[in-house]
Amino acid sequence: MGPQHLRPVQLFWLLGAISTLPRAGALLCYEATSSRFRAVAFYNWKWLLMRNMVCKLKEGCEETLVFIETGTSRGVVGFKGCSPSPSYPAQVSYLVSPPGVSIASYSRVCRSYLCNNLTNLEPFVKLKASAPKFVTSTSHSCPTCVGEHLKDCLPNFVTTSFCPLAASTCYSSTLKLQAGFLNTTFLLMGCAREYNQLLADFHHIGSIKVTEVLNILEKSQIVGAGSSRQGPAWGVLLGLLFVFRD
């Protein structure tokens, strides 16, 4: 029986299949992004792992999550993919600690087959358990929200909360987080220790690039919004004064 020749279509599919195989020494890692700002709870949030990718030689698998909490609102932004960074074990900590607006991060880079496989918020559950439980409140109140300007932080979704004694300044910023296919911009409002950039010392969280721009607030609003009966719409309008433009 003579040699069998591949048809052009068969050759095309064979070459395609070969191109997706991991190269010698290259890792296969999960590829995913997350950006969720409503109905985020510690025990119902799941990170679906449906895609994977072949990394370049010497790259590792990264997974980085950012957890934001302000009043009763929570948000989660995350990235999974290949990373040229050296391996490091799971690191979870507060970048901005409570009371008031808090921002926590979880990140690691590993070098084994599909090792970036975190699917829940368990690291933040343990971190929050170590935070102080009793917080003294003041008579000052601020609008609180985290989410997209024209979706999650519309007036109906903005609440007004009394501020803790240690964080009685109203804060509002527009944050942009970027990494790979992750590109999300959102509004963050709440009580803070002072009216400065909260993430001024963190230009990157893992591979996630962080850009923070303070929104415009009047002086009287910065020191406290006063009665909680005040309507929340003004806070949203102020937040819209400074929006990132691509």
Taking the complete model, does pTM exceed 0.85, yes or no? no
Output phi, psi for 155, to 5 deg. Answer: -50, -40
Do the domain assignments include residue 11? no
Q: Which residues of the chain have pLDDT under 70?
A: 1-24, 218-246
Residue 31 CA from chain centroid, whole number: 16
Range of the domain at 164: 27-214
Burial string for 4-14 (b: 16+ CB within 10 Å, else e) reads eeeeeeeeeee
Do the domain assignments include residue 245? no
User: What pLDDT shows up at residue 221?
Assistant: 59
Tens of pLDDT, residue by residue over 194-244, are 999 999 999 999 999 999 999 987 665 566 544 444 444 444 444 444 444
State the Cα–Cα distance between residues 41 and 51, nearest whole angstrom: 24
Domain count, the chain: 1
Cite the DSSP H helix spans in 95-177. 122-129
Hey, what are 173's tokens? Answer: 């910023």
User: What pLDDT shows up at residue 231?
Assistant: 44
> In whole angstroms, how far apart are CA 65 and each of 35, 166, 177, 222, 233?
10, 26, 11, 29, 30
